[in-house]
Amino acid sequence: MNIKTYNKKPAICNCINLRRASQAITEVYNRFLASSGLNVNQYSLLKHIKHLEPVSVSDLALHVRLDRTTVVRNLKSMEKNGFVTDNSLEGTRNRQLELTDEGLKVLRKAEVDWLEAQKFIEEYLGNDAMNTLTSLLSKIEALVP
């Protein structure tokens, strides 16, 4: 995929710079994933559900480190599209999410696109910058418990 890059000046605010970078990286991944019909948030949730299934919404939210309402909002479209199903016993309150056959199919397709996005970002930044970025992002995330 051919993605044009631009030279942009950083803001004086670290928060704004991180938000802009986050938006840019999300846009890159979404462009690569577009042919699968998923966005990067949906891909991540499907990947985590596959790894953890069956999984409750609360446990899924803990693993992806997003608030529960954000996870629920993202799950709605994936359930509507038939990618995710709730296999909890009738009358229980805890949903038990699993991928459907269609969910597995779209995940396999999206994995190819996601790997291409990963490769693009890694080549664009280079190994040293990628290692530094990963280390810094982990350190930043550790600011909040």
pLDDT in tens, 72-114: 999 999 999 999 999 887 777 788 999 999 999 999 999 999 9
* pLDDT exceeds 70 at position 56: yes
With CA atoms as reference, report the closest residue to 51 among 92, 97, 110, 102.
97
Whole-angstrom Cα distance, residue 130 to residue 79? 35
What is the helix (H) or strand (E) element at residue 15, kind and residue range?
Answer: helix 14-33
Question: What's the pLDDT at 113?
Answer: 97
Whole-angstrom Cα distance, residue 138 to residue 144? 11
Instruction: Count the neighbouring beta carbons within 10 Å of the beta carbon of residue 71.
Output: 20
Whole-angstrom Cα distance, residue 128 to residue 26? 21
Question: What's the pLDDT at 6?
Answer: 67
In single-letter form, the type of residue at position 114 comes to: W
Phi/psi of residue 91, each to 5°? 90, -10
pTM of the full predicted structure? Answer: 0.86
Question: What's the pLDDT at 8?
Answer: 78
Task: Give, in degrees to the nearest 5, the angle at Cα 13 between 10 and 16.
Answer: 75
**CB-based contact 113:40 (threshold 8 Å):** no
